[in-house]
């Protein structure tokens, strides 16, 4: 199949491109390198050194013997989106190019508006361009389990049967998201569902859980590493816990630590996306997949990180800072995730094995985390009006720049 990936330079987009190429699919990427810029904006960088994009492309050619086609551009530009789709005519479009951080969206009004305007505009541009030039293509849209919130009942895959005043219907399950970012995904879901209905498009809305991990089988060379964020804005829970342990900082499950979420290893998330691509939705179908492997509380994950740290001679501690977010800290959580299994999903990695692998890699890049350790603490407060000034006032990085030749966080040097 020919697969277009928007956000190909990102944490998931890059390993997905490698995975699909290794499976014999043709891959075309789009990116505007905004993640590299925004991670710098909060004073951080990826723990893994990320080569400039031209170097990434050269490494793919050399290691995998495959070409990864690429268009640099922005989904906010409708002409660009339509032109790329018209030129490439993909069978599937995996849409990962959205602002993906809940804390980033909560910094202040500007970050909230940027998140929602960019995310909704990019999705609408893709939907309109698909209708115009490739209405048979299958859209695999990255959503989030966080759309549902944490209701006190089981969470179905998108829809449920309701009986009200003696009448029955199958309706979208109520959404109760926990950040402006998560709400942007709710609004996207409504737009994708509506577009499939009126224009007969095919779409899969992937309710993605929190991803953890650093490697996939295709990452056989350090030039092929994906990014690994550990700061409070861009890093996710378990990845952050391991980074904290590696530099001797306490592991930080927020508040009571009973927050339960669906988690999935990076490698298994790639497997799931491939399964969704290879088994497309039908014309007019809006299919929802709850994409996670198992649910854990952040306390449970902190404990796993602490235990595995000891195997590496690291005496990690666990602390509970007050929760900077507004969320239930102890709650029922029982989402259904049968559809992926129905498509053939099988867990390939056990949690502790992946945690060990992350420790091994992060110990190698410990100096890079150490150099940015000031960005590990939670600074963005959901209730506060001045998270932006708190972020700005944060102590500066003690050491500065990436080693020459790694490209560090430089965007696409020398790419037109
Ligand atoms: N948390 C801690 N300590 C930390 C960091 C996070 O206790 O140091 C807690 C948070 O309060 C939250 C949970 O861990 O209860 C998950 O937080 P997270 O930062 O790992 O993930 P989240 O903000 O929910 O967002 C991430 C991705 C997002 C994706 C989402 C899937 O950034 O793109 O959509 O996971 S889900 O969580 O299922 O909505």
Q: List, as one string, the DSSP characters of 144-181.
A: -GGGS---SS-B-SSEEEEEETTEEEEEEPPP--SSHH
- Is residue 384's pLDDT more than 80? yes
Q: Is 102 in the pocket of ligand 1 (CB under 6 A)?
A: yes
Is-catalytic flag, 181? yes
| 233 Cα–ligand 1 center, Å | 10
Residue 236 CA to ligand 1 centre (angstroms) = 5
Ligand 1 nearest atom to the CA of residue 179, by list position: 23
Do residues 251 and 306 make contact, with C-beta atoms less than 8 angstroms apart? yes
The atom number, within ligand 1, closest to the CA of 103 reads: 23
Average pLDDT over residues 387-393: 86
Q: Which atom of ligand 1 is nearest to the CA of 100?
A: 33
CA-CA distance, 119 to 107, in Å (whole number)?
17
pLDDT of amino acid 121:
98
- Is 298 near ligand 1, meaning CB less than 6 Å away? yes
The 3-state DSSP class for residue 416 equals coil
User: Given pLDDT bands bounded at 50, 70 and 90, which one contains residue 405?
Assistant: very low
Residue 150 appears among annotated catalytic residues: no
> Which residue among the candidates 123, 185, 236, 345 is catalytic per the annotation?
185
> Is the confidence at residue 414, as pLDDT, over 60?
no
Q: How far is the CA of 259 from the centre of ligand 1 (A)?
A: 9
Q: Express each pLDDT in 135-181 by its tens digit.
A: 999 999 999 999 999 999 999 999 999 999 999 999 999 999 999 99
| CB-based contact 131:159 (threshold 8 Å) | no
Q: Which atom of ligand 1 is nearest to the CA of 257?
A: 7
Measured by CA distance, the residue closest to atom 16 of ligand 1 is: 237
Q: Is 100 in the pocket of ligand 1 (CB under 6 A)?
A: yes
Distance 264 CA to ligand 1 centre (A): 12
| CB 244 less than 6 A from any atom of ligand 1 | no
Q: Residue 397: what pLDDT?
A: 58
pLDDT for the residue numbered 413: 47
Question: Residue 208: CB within 6 Å of ligand 1?
Answer: yes
Q: State whether the beta carbon of 302 lies less than 6 angstroms from ligand 1.
A: no
pLDDT tens digits along 43-57 = 999 999 999 999 999
Taking the C-alpha atoms of residue 54 and residue 309, their distance in angstroms, rounded to an integer, is: 36
The tens digit of pLDDT for each residue in 313-345 reads 999 999 999 999 999 999 999 999 999 999 999
Active site residue 185: yes
Is the pLDDT assigned to residue 407 strictly greater than 90? no
- What is the β-pairing status of strands 260-265 and 138-142? unpaired
Q: At what angle do helices 351-364 and 298-311 cross, to 10 degrees?
A: 60
Task: Say yes or no: CB of residue 146 within 6 Å of ligand 1.
Answer: yes
CA 35 / ligand 1 centre spacing (Å): 17
- CA 347, CA 269: separation in Å to the nearest integer? 10
Domains of the chain in start order, with CATH, are: 2-400 (3.40.50.720)
The more confidently predicted of residues 253 and 406 is 253
Q: Which of 11, 104, 181, 286 is catalytic?
A: 181
CB distance 253 to ligand 1 below 6 Å: yes
Which atom of ligand 1 sits closest to the CA of residue 145?
38
Cβ of 328 closer than 6 Å to ligand 1, yes or no, is no
């Amino acid at each position: 199949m020919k697969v277009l990936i928007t956000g190909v330079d990102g944490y998931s987009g890059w390993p997905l491109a490698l995975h699909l190429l290794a499976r014999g699919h043709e891959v075309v990427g789009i990116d505007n390198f905004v993640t590299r810029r925004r991670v710098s904006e909060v004073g951080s960088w990826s723990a893994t050194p990320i080569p400039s994009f031209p170097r990434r492309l050269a490494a793919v050619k050399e290691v995998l013997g495959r070409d990864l086609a690429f268009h640099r551009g922005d989904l906010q530009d409708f002409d660009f989106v339509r032109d790329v789709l018209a030129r490439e005519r993909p069978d599937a479009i995996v849409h990962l190019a959205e602002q993906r951080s809940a804390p980033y969206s909560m910094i202040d009004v500007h970050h909230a508006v940027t998140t929602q305007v960019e995310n909704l505009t990019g999705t609408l541009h893709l939907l309109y361009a698909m209708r115009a030039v490739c209405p048979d293509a299958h859209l695999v849209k990255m959503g989030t389990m966080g759309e549902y919130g944490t209701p006190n009942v089981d969470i179905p895959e998108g829809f449920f049967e309701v009986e009200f005043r003696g009448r029955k219907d199958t309706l979208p399950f109520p959404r109760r998201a926990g950040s402006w970012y998560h709400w942007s995904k709710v609004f996207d879901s409504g737009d994708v569902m509506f577009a499939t209905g009126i224009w007969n498009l095919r779409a899969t809305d992937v309710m993605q859980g929190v991803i953890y991990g650093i490697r996939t089988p295709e990452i056989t060379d350090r030039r092929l590493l994906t990014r690994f964020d550990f700061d409070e804005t861009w890093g996710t829970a378990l990845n952050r816990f391991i980074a904290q342990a590696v530099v001797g900082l306490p592991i930080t499950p927020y508040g009571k630590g009973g927050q339960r979420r669906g988690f999935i290893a990076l490698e298994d998330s790639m497997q799931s996306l491939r399964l969704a691509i290879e088994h497309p939705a039908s014309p007019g179908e809006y299919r929802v997949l709850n994409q996670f492997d198992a649910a854990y509380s952040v306390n449970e994950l902190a404990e796993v990180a602490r235990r595995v740290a000891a195997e590496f001679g690291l005496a990690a501690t666990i602390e509970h800072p007050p929760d900077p977010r507004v969320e239930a800290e102890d709650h029922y959580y029982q989402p259904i995730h049968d559809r992926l299994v129905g498509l053939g999903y099988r867990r390939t990695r056990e949690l502790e094995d992946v945690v060990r692998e992350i420790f091994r890699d992060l110990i190698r890049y410990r100096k890079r985390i150490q150099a940015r350790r000031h960005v590990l603490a939670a600074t963005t407060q959901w209730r506060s009006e001045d998270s932006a000034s708190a972020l700005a006032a944060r102590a500066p990085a003690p050491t500065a720049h990436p080693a020459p030749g790694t490209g560090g966080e430089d965007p696409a040097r020398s790419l037109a």
